[in-house]
Structure formats: C-alpha cells, structure tokens
C-alpha cells in the first residue's frame, strides 16, 4: 500500500492514480487528490516529513 499525500489515505498502487514529481512517483485515491497535489506539491510533501 502507498499513502495518498493529500488525504493521507492508504491506496493500492495497482489501482491508484499515479503522478510523478521530482523523480518520485506518488499515488492518489482520486483524480481530485492528484490535481490538488500537482497544484501545490510542496504543501503536501512538507506535511509528511
Ligand atoms: Zn486522496
């Protein structure tokens, strides 16, 4: 399982929506979460660290 960085939900990599940012692949539960992430990736990545 991977974690959706936007809503913090666990998502199945085989079914999740993928996006690449800065050489890393991120997984999302829904298109809306992916859009939010790509609009402002730093905001969501900071919250994880
Ligand atoms: Zn999500």
- Segment 1-39, tens digit of pLDDT: 999 999 999 999 999 999 999 999 999 999 999 999 999
Distance 37 CA to ligand 1 centre (A): 9
The pLDDT value given to residue 2:
97
Domain ranges for the chain, please list them: 2-48
Distance 21 CA to ligand 1 centre (A): 16
The pLDDT value given to residue 12:
97
Nearest 10 degrees: Cα torsion 46, 27, 22, 48: 10
pLDDT surpassing 60 at residue 49: no
CATH topology of domain 2-48: Ribosomal Protein L24e; Chain: T; (2.30.170)
Answer yes or no: pTM beyond 0.85. yes
Distance 31 CA to ligand 1 centre (A): 8
Positive/negative CA dihedral, 17, 30, 3, 34? positive
The pLDDT value given to residue 32:
98
CB 30 within 8 A of CB 18: no
Distance 13 CA to ligand 1 centre (A): 13
The pLDDT value given to residue 46:
83
Distance 30 CA to ligand 1 centre (A): 6
């Amino acid at each position: 399982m991977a974690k959706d960085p936007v809503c913090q939900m666990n998502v199945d990599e085989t079914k999740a929506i993928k996006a690449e940012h800065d050489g890393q692949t991120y997984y999302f539960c829904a298109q809306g979460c992916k859009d939010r992430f790509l609009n402002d990736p730093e905001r969501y990545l900071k919250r994880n660290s």
